[in-house]
Amino acid sequence: MKSVINKSILFIFFFLVTSYNVAQAFSGPDTFADLAEKVSPSVVNISTTGVIEQSSPQIPSIEDFFNFPFNMPSPEQSEREFSSLGSGFVISEDGYIVTNNHVVQNASDIQVTFTNGLKLEAELIAFDNETDLALLKVDTTDKLPSLEFGDSDSAKVGSWVMAIGNPHGLGGSVTAGIVSARGRMLGGRYDDFIQTDAAINRGNSGGPLFNLDGEVIGVNSMILSPSGGSIGLGFAIPSNLAKNIIDQLKDTGDIRHEPYWKNFSKQNKINLINLYPYFEAENKRKFILDNFIFGDVHWNKSGNKKIFEALKKELVFERNNN
């Protein structure tokens, strides 16, 4: 009887220890409430209005057909008013705000709304089409709550993240998830997106993606969705790239784009090596100098020995001729 009791006690103890270890291994934050309360005052809703020109084709007359192609009517130019909604976040107490360029593009009026209801007119300071980033400025005598950029390279796949934004005009919406993937390239020259399953919808563009320390590690920019709503495929510009661009916009209003692989995450640099044979000659030279002489990636560990040996030969040539 004692033996049975002892075995039962041992089994229960083993079960509890195992359950505790499993819980510890997969534990996430108990709540995002404190983090959301801390950072929400620095996230703003952005609404814009403006006018864009558009061309309207004219229906040709019978005479036009007989005179084709010499007398075809030119498209008629007209103006169309538009409005848009987006998100942004304050990066300095004196009122600098980061958002996506596509949120404020062609806007003649930009208004930002804070969580406390404060509404301010914003001025577009500068923007960068290549990375879809824009810098705004609001004038206020009060010190505004601001956010800090974190190190996006420290956000590993599986790390917890939180997004705040203005989806469909519903300001202050908080969603959470994980980093689903890194180094996503979706067609742009400087694409190096962080992929997340935190719900991102229309209106979230320009809003921040946070780590659990309340640092901005990404600027939410786009989704992939057949329906237009979130299906868990959201993408954010990594903060290490965004900070570099925003600093330049703030300091000079102009951008000197480094070679597009310069700000890539290490994983994306390793992926990029497979595209090396398709680079233009000048880009090959810069690629080699950046990543062999000054780089921090051990390309011989990429598993592609043939390409590595080719790069190595060109490196020797470049170093002897520069």
The CA distance from 104 to 46, in Å, is 8
pLDDT in tens, 261-288: 555 555 555 555 555 555 555 565 555 5
End-to-end CA distance of the chain: 85
Chain centroid to CA 218: how far?
5
82, β-bridge pairs: 50
Q: What residues have CB less than 8 Å from 286, skipping those under 6 apart?
A: 259
Q: Which one of the listed residues 132, 191, 192, 197 is annotated catalytic?
A: 132
pLDDT in tens, 117-167: 999 999 999 999 888 999 999 999 999 999 999 999 999 999 999 999 999
Confidence at residue 183, expressed as pLDDT on a 0 to 100 scale: 83
The CA distance from 159 to 161, in Å, is 6
At 5 the three-state DSSP class reads helix
On the CB side of 164, how many CA atoms lie within 13 Å of its CA?
28
Confidence at residue 227, expressed as pLDDT on a 0 to 100 scale: 77
Active site residue 40: no
In terms of DSSP H, where are the helices of the chain? 2-25, 33-39, 62-66, 101-104, 239-251, 266-272, 281-288, 305-320
Q: Which structural domains are found in the chain, ordered by start?
A: 43-138 (2.40.10.10), 152-249 (2.40.10.10), 266-320 (no CATH)
Contact 252, 128 (CB under 8 A): no
Active site residue 298: no
Contact 171, 45 (CB under 8 A): yes
At 181 the three-state DSSP class reads strand
The CA distance from 42 to 97, in Å, is 9
51, β-bridge pairs: 81
In terms of DSSP H, where are the helices of 183-265? 239-251
Confidence at residue 23, expressed as pLDDT on a 0 to 100 scale: 46
Confidence at residue 231, expressed as pLDDT on a 0 to 100 scale: 87
Phi, psi dihedrals of residue 187, rounded to the nearest 5°: 125, -20
Active site residue 168: no
Confidence at residue 296, expressed as pLDDT on a 0 to 100 scale: 39
Q: Which residues of the chain are under the pLDDT cut of 70?
A: 1-27, 54-78, 187-190, 257-322
Helix (H) or strand (E) holding 196: strand 193-196
Where do we find the tokens 């930002």?
112
Reported pTM: 0.69
Confidence at residue 52, expressed as pLDDT on a 0 to 100 scale: 75
Q: Which one of the listed residues 42, 152, 173, 205 is annotated catalytic?
A: 205
Q: Which one of the listed residues 47, 84, 87, 102 is annotated catalytic?
A: 102
Q: What is the 8-class DSSP label of residue 75?
A: P
